[in-house]
Structures are given as C-alpha cells and as structure tokens.
Structure 1
Amino acid sequence: MLTDDFGREVTGVRVSLTDRCNFDCVYCHNEGLGDTRGPMDPQDDEMDTDDVVRFLEVAAEFGVDAVKFTGGEPMLRQDLEEIIARTPARMEVSLTTNGTFLPDRADALVDAGLERVNVSQDALDPADFAEITKSGAYERVLEGVDAALAAGLDPVKLNMVVFEHTAGYVPEMVDHVAENDGLQLQLIEYMPELTGKPEWNVDIQRVHDWLAERAAEIEHREMHDRKRYWVGGGPDSSGGMVEIVDPVENPTFCANCHRVRVTHEGYLKGCLNRNDDLRAMGEMTKPEIREAFRETVTNRVPYYGEYMVRNGDDEWEVNEKYIDEYAEV
C-alpha cells in the first residue's frame, strides 16, 4: 500500500468515467474540473474500457481496495457493466449517479458486481428539483432509488448538496430517510471555491446543531472527524442515518483523505480542489502507470493545512513555500 509524505495511505480511488450528464445541476463542479459538459454522445477523449481496467489493475497491486465510479453521469457509459465486471475482485465497487438509468439497469449492475450506490436527490418537490437540476426527471429518480433497493443495493445513500437552493429541504429529507427503510442521507457541504457562487453558501454548522438535537444516537467517525446522526433506529439498522460531509476549510478532513482521483480523460490527480498536479496516463503501459501512480501519491498534500494555510489575519491563502518547492520537482 502506498503512503504519501504525510502518512496517508491510499486505500481508494474515485474514477470519473465521463463528464457528460443528462442533468445540468447549478452547483456542479465536475470533479473539480469546472463545467465542461458537452454533447450526450460518447466522446473521443474519454478513457475506454481497457484504459479504466488497466488502471484499476495497477491500483489493486498497491493495495487499493475500493473504487467509486462517478461522472458527469457514469451510467451514460454503455460499458459500465463491463467495467464493473472486470474490476479486480479485491475492490469494493460503488457508484454515484443521478438515478435516472437505474430502473432499467440496477439488476445488471448488481450482477456485474456493484455493491453500493449514491443517488443525487436535492429536493422532494418536482418543481424545485427541476430548478436545481434543469431536468424534469424527478419521478424517474424516485423509480431509480426503488429499483436500486429492489436489486439489493441496501442501503441506498441519497446525496444532497446543502446550499441556498436546498437548505429549506433538509428537515423534509431527514424525515424522508427516517421513514423509509433502506435509505440514508449524505448532506454535502457546498463548495463555493469550485463553483464561483459564494453567495449561495450556508452555515453548515447550523445543520449539525439541528441534527444533534433531533438524533436518537450520534456516531463519531474519527477518520474524517465526521459525525453520523441516526434519526431512525440506530447503527444496527440499514436506514435513517444522516451524515454531513463538510470538507471546506477542514484540515482534519484533508489530513485523513485516502483517495486518489482519475478524470474522465485519464489524468491522475491527488486532490479534488487542485488541477496543478494532473498526470496524464494516456497510452501508458502498466509499468508507466505504476510510476505515475507512485508519483501522484508521493506528491499528495493535504489541501487545507498544507497547500492552503492560515495567514496573520486568520484567512486561508496559498502556501507559496509549498508551491515553490513543488515547481522545483
């Protein structure tokens, strides 16, 4: 297993299979690359099936035991089932999707080896859902969640980005997962530095405080200094769990990051928030991918606390010392 200079083992990879999407969510940051969505047809710059599998086979050699497939919308890839089936057996396979294609493919994905799924669902009202996603597929998403549960993907975790447009739906979404077996909720802190709309930000601590009052039980995950709030049942049940992902300005989160990312074009990157560390795999052979993977891990730096540091005014700024050292490598 590879470890970076800050003692962080890399145990997982997050692989974007496409930047194409049938939604146009207003908060999308496209895995940190910006809004580059294009036509729905397959694009020449996307990794093909063999490219993805070749990388995963190398990652498995280094002890990586989990892969999450993302997009864009990864289910626009018609070879998704093949990719999952060819993923090394030691890896747990999960998927983040908007859910619209799950009604027709959930069973096949499970048969191929999919073990967990996150479905983006930002509102429980069709009109507001359409405003956020620029899509009229609200009912189709609900059908997708039901199809995932029926296929055995239990629990299904709903992803909800918390920002100005969605904050009012938090109580309703919490009730929704508490009242429906097999559902969990992941509230994701809005990242204004990636979307360029700071005015949409909300105070995520207020959500923490509200959940703490509501929860029957609170579980603390030391790895990311993250809390799980159980609002229906407890840790032994499959549903009713609410977790907040709050990476913004959170050095503890970054200090415990164990994941490397791969863009849809086949670039390795060590951090969601950075694009100055991209390494193109292109037509690399396995030995070349091994070396690129080692370099990516070696050069990983916690974004908050090292790449970004507090100045004398207690504000975050780029660590020029690190940038200078990195430029010399």
Structure 2
Amino acid sequence: MLADEFGREVSGVRVSLTDRCNFDCVYCHNEGLGDTRGPMAPREHEMGTDDVVRFLEVVSEFGVDSVKFTGGEPLLREDIEEIVRRTPEGMEVSLTTNGTMLPGRAEALVDAGLERVNVSQDALDRETFKQVTQAGAYDAVMDGVDAALDAGLAPVKLNMVVFEQTAGYVPEMVEHVAENEGLRLQLIEYMPEIAGHPEWAIDIQRVHDWLAEQADHVERREMHDRRRYWVSPEGETPTDPTDESQAGMVEIVDPVENPTFCANCHRVRVTHEGYLKGCLNRHDDLRPMGEMTRPEIREAFRETVAERVPFYGEYMVEEDGEWVVNEAYLDESTDAAVSDGDDGEIDPAADETTVQSDD
C-alpha cells in the first residue's frame, strides 16, 4: 500500500463518474472542482467504462481496497451497474447518490456487487428540501431510501450538509434515524472554502456538544478521526447502545480548519475527466493519467500519493489566528502540466505487471 511522506497510506479511492446531476444543490462543490455541471446528456469527456475499470484494477495492485462512486449524480451513468460488476474482487464498493433513481435500480446494483450507499437527505421538510436542492423530488428521495433498504443495502447512510438553512432540522433527523432501523446519519460540515458563502457556515462544535448530551455512547473512527454518536429514540434506554435495533448512529464529518481530520485522510480522488486529485480542497494538484494505459495510471498514482499533503496543518498553516497558504507546497509545475495535458514522461518499457508499493 502506498503512503505519502506523512505516513498516510492510501486505502481508498473516490471516483466521480460524471459532473451531471438532476439536482442543483446550493452547497454543491462538485468534488472540489466548483460548479462545473453541464447538460444532462452524456458527454465525451467523461471517463469510459473501460477507463474506470482499468484504473480500479491498477490501484487494487497497490492495496487499495475500497472505492466510492460519486458525481454529480452517478446513477445518470447508464453503465454504472457494469462498472460495479467489473470492480476488482475484494474491493468494497459504495455509492453516493441523491437517491431519486434507486427505485428500479437498487436490486440490480446489489446484484452487481454494490455493498453500501449514501443518500443525500438534507431536511425532513419538503419546502426546505426544495430550496436546498432546487428540485421538488422529496418523495422520490424517500422512495429511493426505501428501495435501498428493500434491496439489502442496510445500513443506508443519510448525508446531511449542516449549514444555516438546514441546521434547525438536525434534531428531527437524528430522531428519524434513531427510530428507523437500517438508517444512519452523516452530518457534513459546510465547506465555505470550496463552496463559497461563508455566511452560511455554522459552528459545528455546537452540534458535537449537543449530540454528546443526547448520545448513549460515543466512539471515534480512525478515518479522519471522526466521532460517532449512538442515540436511542426519545424516552427509551437501550440495553446495548451500539445495537442498531435500539439506537441510531450519527457521525459528524468536520474537515474545516481541522488538522486532525486531514492527518487521518486515506483517500485519493478521481475526477469525471480522469484526473487524479490528492486533496478535495486543492485546485492545484490535478494530475492527468494520459491515455490511461496501465503504466501511465501507475506512474500518475504513485506521484499523486507521494505528493499528498494534509490540507490543514501543512498546505494551510495557522498564523496569528488565520489560515494561510504554506508557500512550500505551491507547485506551479502541476498547474502547467494540467494546462498542457501532460504529466511528464512515462517510461515506455514499464513492466505491465510489476508493482512497487513502497516508493
């Protein structure tokens, strides 16, 4: 398994299959690329089925054991079932979706090998949901969650971005997952550094503090050093607070100005156009994979991992109470390479089957 110079092994990849989406969420940052979403019809610049599968086959050689497919809305890809089915054996496959297309497709995705699903659900209020997503699809999302549960994808994780417009619905959402076995809740801190509108951000620590008061049990995950809160339905006392038939699990994803979060990141991202991206927050670390031959993918992946830097604490450092860019990590050559569409010379004699996992 490859590791960067900070000792962070890359065990997972997050692959955007498209920037197209049938929602227009006000907080969308399109995997850190900004609002680049285009028309609903398939476009030539998206990675093809074989490109995606080839990439996964190569990174599996380096010990990557999980992939999450994202977008845009990944279920707009007609080939998503084929991609899931052709994912290398032993690699955990998950998907983030708005859920509207899960009815009618969830079973086929499970048959293809999908193991987990995250569904965006920002409020249990139709009007707020419509304002946030710019789509009147509340019932379709709820039906999608049911379809995922019926297809055997429990636990289904609900993704809720917490910001000014949704924060008031957190207690209701927590109670919702506490009362409904098979659901989990992921509260995601709003990220103004890539989504804009800093005035929408709230103090996520207040949510932590509130959940700590409600929780029957609190634990930490190694990934991103995230905290998990187990909350039982109101008025009930669980005999086992981590039994999901008795309590709901709520997790907070809080990356903003959080060096501990960044120090525990073990993912590399891939854009829908086939660029490797070592950090969600950065715009200057995109690395092309050329024609996506196996040697090119290997070389680009090695270089991307080697150059990964924790965003907060290294790429951004705190000075006099303000976070500023650490000039040591500004790489103008990367920008030039992306502009030219050239990531450096690739050894044409590279062995198609040999993997170096420690350089």
Is the TM-score greater than 0.5?
yes
Tell me the distance in 1 between the aligned counterparts of 2:177 and 2:194. 28
Task: List aligned pairs for 1:89-104, cutoff 5 A.
Answer: 89-104=89-104
Task: List aligned pairs for 1:100-179, cutoff 5 A.
Answer: 100-179=100-179
Q: CA deviation at 1:169?
A: 0.4
Q: CA deviation at 1:227?
A: 1.1
Check conservation: 2:4, 2:305, Cα contact below 8 A. Answer: yes
Q: CA deviation at 1:317?
A: 0.2
Does residue 263 of structure 2 align to residue 255 of structure 1? Answer: yes
The one-letter amino acid paired with 1:158 is L
Q: CA deviation at 1:326?
A: 7.4
Q: CA deviation at 1:217?
A: 1.0
Q: CA deviation at 1:219?
A: 1.2
Question: What residue number does 1:271 align with?
Answer: 279
Q: Residues 317 and 326 (structure 1 numbering): CA distance in 2 closer, same or farther, change over 3 Å?
A: farther
Task: List aligned pairs for 1:33-112, cutoff 5 A.
Answer: 33-112=33-112
User: What SS class does the counterpart of residue 220 from structure 2 fall into?
Assistant: strand
User: What SS class does the counterpart of residue 51 from structure 2 fall into?
Assistant: helix
Among candidates 313, 322, 337, match of residue 315 of structure 1? 322
Q: CA deviation at 1:235?
A: 2.3
Tell me the distance in 2 between the aligned counterparts of 1:24 and 1:325. 33
| Structure 1: tracts of 5 or more residues without a match | none
Q: CA deviation at 1:324?
A: 6.2
Among candidates 235, 240, 249, match of residue 241 of structure 1? 249
Q: CA deviation at 1:325?
A: 9.3
* Runs of 4+, deviation exceeding 3 Å: 324-329
Does residue 164 of structure 2 align to residue 188 of structure 1? Answer: no
User: What SS class does the counterpart of residue 269 from structure 2 fall into?
Assistant: strand
User: What SS class does the counterpart of residue 102 from structure 1 fall into?
Assistant: coil
User: What SS class does the counterpart of residue 35 from structure 1 fall into?
Assistant: coil
Deviates more, 1:66-75 or 1:234-243: 234-243
Write the deviation string for residues 128-157 of structure 1: whole angstroms up to 9, x where unpaired. 111100101100000000000010001000
Task: List aligned pairs for 1:204-219, cutoff 5 A.
Answer: 204-219=204-219
Tell me the distance in 2 between the aligned counterparts of 1:181 and 1:236. 10
Tell me the distance in 2 between the aligned counterparts of 1:301 and 1:65. 21
Larger radius of gyration: 2
Q: CA deviation at 1:116?
A: 0.2
Q: CA deviation at 1:279?
A: 1.0
The one-letter amino acid paired with 2:292 is M
Write the deviation string for residues 27-68 of structure 1: whole angstroms up to 9, x where unpaired. 000000000111100011100100000000001000000000
Q: CA deviation at 1:225?
A: 2.5
Task: List aligned pairs for 1:3-42, cutoff 5 A.
Answer: 3-42=3-42
Check conservation: 2:223, 2:266, Cα contact below 8 A. Answer: no
User: What SS class does the counterpart of residue 161 from structure 1 fall into?
Assistant: strand
Q: CA deviation at 1:11?
A: 0.2
The one-letter amino acid paired with 2:229 is Y
Check conservation: 2:55, 2:292, Cα contact below 8 A. Answer: no
Q: Residues 222 and 65 (structure 1 numbering): CA distance in 2 closer, same or farther, change over 3 Å?
A: closer
The one-letter amino acid paired with 1:236 is D
Q: CA deviation at 1:223?
A: 4.2
Q: CA deviation at 1:220?
A: 2.1
Tell me the distance in 2 between the aligned counterparts of 1:202 and 1:162. 8
Check conservation: 2:222, 2:264, Cα contact below 8 A. Answer: no
Write the deviation string for residues 278-317 of structure 1: whole angstroms up to 9, x where unpaired. 1112412101110110000000000001000011x12100
Tell me the distance in 2 between the aligned counterparts of 1:16 and 1:324. 24
Q: CA deviation at 1:222?
A: 4.2
TM-score, normalized by length of structure 2?
0.89
Does residue 295 of structure 2 align to residue 295 of structure 1? Answer: no
User: What SS class does the counterpart of residue 293 from structure 1 fall into?
Assistant: helix
Tell me the distance in 2 between the aligned counterparts of 1:275 and 1:324. 11
Tell me the distance in 2 between the aligned counterparts of 1:251 and 1:61. 30
The one-letter amino acid paired with 2:131 is E
Q: CA deviation at 1:214?
A: 0.5
Check conservation: 2:284, 2:331, Cα contact below 8 A. Answer: no
Q: CA deviation at 1:161?
A: 0.2
User: What SS class does the counterpart of residue 118 from structure 2 fall into?
Assistant: strand
Q: CA deviation at 1:188?
A: 0.1
Write the deviation string for residues 170-208 of structure 1: whole angstroms up to 9, x where unpaired. 000001000111000000000001111000010000000
Tell me the distance in 2 between the aligned counterparts of 1:219 and 1:318. 33
Write the deviation string for residues 218-237 of structure 1: whole angstroms up to 9, x where unpaired. 11224423211001353232
Question: What residue number does 2:340 align with?
Answer: none
TM-score, normalized by length of structure 1?
0.97
| Structure 2: tracts of 5 or more residues without a match | 233-237, 337-343, 345-359
The one-letter amino acid paired with 2:315 is Y
